[in-house]
Structures are given as C-alpha cells and as structure tokens.
Chain A
Amino acid sequence: MAAAADPAAGLAGVGIGWRPEIAGLVDGLPGLGFCEIVAESIAPAASSRGVTPLRGLRDRGVPVIPHGVRLGLGDAGGVDAGRVAHLAACAVAVDAPLVSEHVAFVRGGGREAGHLLPVPRSREALDVLTRNVRRMQAELDVPLALEPIAALLDWPDDELDEPDFLTELLDRTGALLLLDVANTYANAINRGQDPAAVLDRMPLDRVAYVHVAGGAEHDGLYHDTHTDPVPDPVLRLLDELRDRARPPAVMLERDGRFPPAAELRAELDAIADGTGLARVT
C-alpha cells in the first residue's frame, strides 16, 4: 500500500504543536518542518474562527497536521458522525498531508471523561478500534496516524501487551503510527518496564512522525503533563529511537505553563540534535 511505502507522508524535520499562546514563537521559527493543530480548536467551516491563525504558516509552505483529541476512536459506542466530518474538514481546510488521533476512549454512558483514557488491550477493543478507525479513514483522502496514549491505569483484562496490540491494530487498518516517546517512557516506567525494551518491540517501520513532551513525577508515578520541561530520560529515549530507526519528523508538544521563548527554542534544538535533524530555530 502507498502509505507503507512512505510512512512519513512527506513530513520531515522538526516541528511543534501550534498553540495560541506561542503563535508568535512558532511564526518566528525559520526552519520549521511542520506543525500540528488541535482539530477541536479550529472551525474549518466558519470564516471568523476558521483557520486564519495558520494562514502565515501555510503561505510559507509549512505542512499543518490536524490532531484530534475528542473523536474517541476507542469508544465502544462508536464515533460521532459530526466529529468524523469535522476532522475530515480540518484536513481539507489546511491541505494536510495526514491527520492524527489517539488510541483511546474519551466518553461513556453520556459522560465526557475530559481526557484520553486507555482501552483494554483485548480482542473486543481491537474490533471497536478497527471499526471506528475504518469509519474515519473512509472520510479522509490522506493517511491517518494513530497515537498510543500515556495511561496511569491498565484494565484488569488485558490480553496483549502494548506493542502487540498496536501492531495488530495497524495491520488491521493500514493506519500509520504517531509514536510519542514521552508516552512510551511514561507507560514503561509506570508499569515497571524498561522503556528501550518496549521501544524495540514497537512497529517502528510504521512511524509517520514522533511526539516529544515534558512531564513530571507526582506521588511515585510519571505524569505526561505537557506543562513541564522535557526530562533527560525522555530525550535519551529519543536517542534510542534514532539508533533503531531514525525518525523523519519529530515535534515538541507543550500545552501550558509556557516558559520563556529561549527555553522552548532550546528544547527544539535538543530534539533536533538528538535525532540528527537540522535545527529549526
């Protein structure tokens, strides 16, 4: 399949998650390889809220990836047609090379969880994910990349480990992998596993692009907060990844408690250096 021949879908270099608070900094990155926009934060059909903030980046030819956070590909109740249509419309509005969403469920019984929650790693959950992913793919003209989440809990009835579960999901759907090394690190540490050994078993030949984010320890658990600096062990795991399969495209996610611009630039440089990609600052 075409997607397998070019898992990066044309993405290359170092990118960043676009957020309104750092719009100026992102605009001022001369070598920016790509950026990601939270799909639920834009309204592709409305001129006022629309995609105006991204116009400058698009004019510069910076690829923009809509990143969904509320679709709920793991929701056993199915995905909402309006949310599927929204993500597809985002892809068209920014002329995206691909879109991404999470291997997670986000609501149940009419309640919103407010964040991404893990599905059980079971055959039943694989069937749900496969059905929902195919439904999303049917509305897209571009590839869909799936991101495994950082989870603080596991279901009692897990049948597969995470690498096997993901490999089977990607095999069934043809979807690409959005590998978040901070999530890989967080899950391994919180399950008492060696992060590099987990990385070894991930379907690295399917990586479209890579996320890096900060986190911190609370009460003996590692939390993938996106509001703290990227810790050294996460950067070291990025080195481990490069040693196995050099990723074509890597980006930083920062969602809050934004540091001075110089600190974010330094993190972008560290990510570039750690993956052998050109600095974008």
Chain B
Amino acid sequence: MSDLAARQAALVEALVAGGPDPAGFDPARLDATRKALLRKRAGETAKHWPLLAASHGNRWRATFAAHAAGHEGHGALRDGWDLARALRAAGTLPTGAARELADREAGWHYGGAGAPRRRLRARVRTLAASARRRLLD
C-alpha cells in the first residue's frame, strides 16, 4: 500500500469507524467532519425508512448518531434496518416504525450482514402477478 493509500485508510477509519485521530489534523475539524458524515447518513437513511425517521421527529439525527457513531455505514437500507432492530430490542421502537420494520421483514430476509434478500414467497407473488399481467394483456 502506498503512503497516501495508508493515510487515506487511516483517515477514513478515524472518521467512520472509531479509529484514532491521524497525526497533524485539527481535532476539531475531524470532529466536525465526523458529525457531518453522520448527518448525511441520517438524511439518506430517513429516505429509506420514512416512518422510522418521522417517528423520532427532531430527535432523529441524534438517535441515528447515537447508534451509528463509530460504525462504518453499510448503505441507508441496512443502516436503518440495524437501527430499527436495535430500538425494537431495547423496547423503544415507536409504533409506526415497528410496522415499517415488520412490513420489510415480511418481504425480505436480512441476516444482519450482507444485502437483504427478497423472501421466496414474496418472489413467487411478484412472479405470479407479472405472469397474470402477461396473460391478460
């Protein structure tokens, strides 16, 4: 790994995965960047999980940050899924968000790592619907 590649990796680790601050950087600016990255992730996650975000109102960013700080993002779909499950386990998942999570889990299998996969019965329903459309068209 080149020197710059190693230093880029160290900076990313410090910003998103709880790694130590790299030498020479302004700690306040590193902290501001960390918070900005979390705000951006919170906004993207809200688009994929609108009820989860809306049910937290103006506490959404703080709730998201409390869960996600120091953990690398895995995309908005998985980040929201992980948060919703953590809140459900803690007994603090609001009702609307619980329904949103239940709907997702009815159609998709997500094991907590890797991309969520469409459940077989949901796939069959989709195929049946498209076959019906072809027959009727």
Q: Interface size class for chain B?
A: 20 to 34
**A111 CA to B6 CA in the complex, in Å?**
12
State whether A153 touches B73 (Cβ < 8 A): no
- Chain A residues near B10: list those with CB within 8 A: 108-109
Q: How far is the CA of A111 from the CA of B9 in the complex (A)?
A: 8
Q: Does A76 contact B (CB under 8 A)?
A: yes
- Which residues of A sit under 8 angstroms from B72, Cβ to Cβ? 111-112
Q: Which residues of B contact A227 (CB under 8 A)?
A: 43
Among B25-33, B83-91, B99-107, B111-119, the stretch that binds chain A is B25-33
Q: How far is the CB of A186 from chain B (nearest CB, A)?
A: 11
Number of interface residues of A (CB under 8 A): 35
Q: Is the interface of B mostly helix, strand, loop or mixed?
A: helix
Q: Give the residue name and chain of the B residue nearest to A150 (CB).
A: B36
Assess whether B12 is in contact with A108, with CB atoms less than 8 Å apart: yes
> Helix, strand, loop or mixed for chain A's interface?
loop
- Does residue B16 face the partner (Cβ distance < 8 Å to A)? yes
* A contact residues around B13 at 8 Å (CB): 108-109, 111
Q: Which residues of B contact A256 (CB under 8 A)?
A: 43, 47
Q: CB within 8 Å of A: which residues of B? A: 1-13, 15-17, 23-26, 29-30, 32-33, 35-37, 39-41, 43, 47, 72-73
Seen from chain A, the residues whose Cβ lies within 8 Å of a Cβ on chain B are 75-77, 105, 107-115, 117, 119-120, 122, 124-125, 128, 152-157, 218-219, 221, 223, 225, 227, 255-257
Q: Other than the known A108-B8, A113-B16, A153-B25, what 5 A-B pairs have Cβ atoms closer than 8 Å?
A: A108-B5, A108-B12, A108-B13, A111-B72, A112-B73
Ranked 5 nearest A-B pairs via Cβ: A109-B9, A156-B24, A76-B5, A108-B8, A108-B9
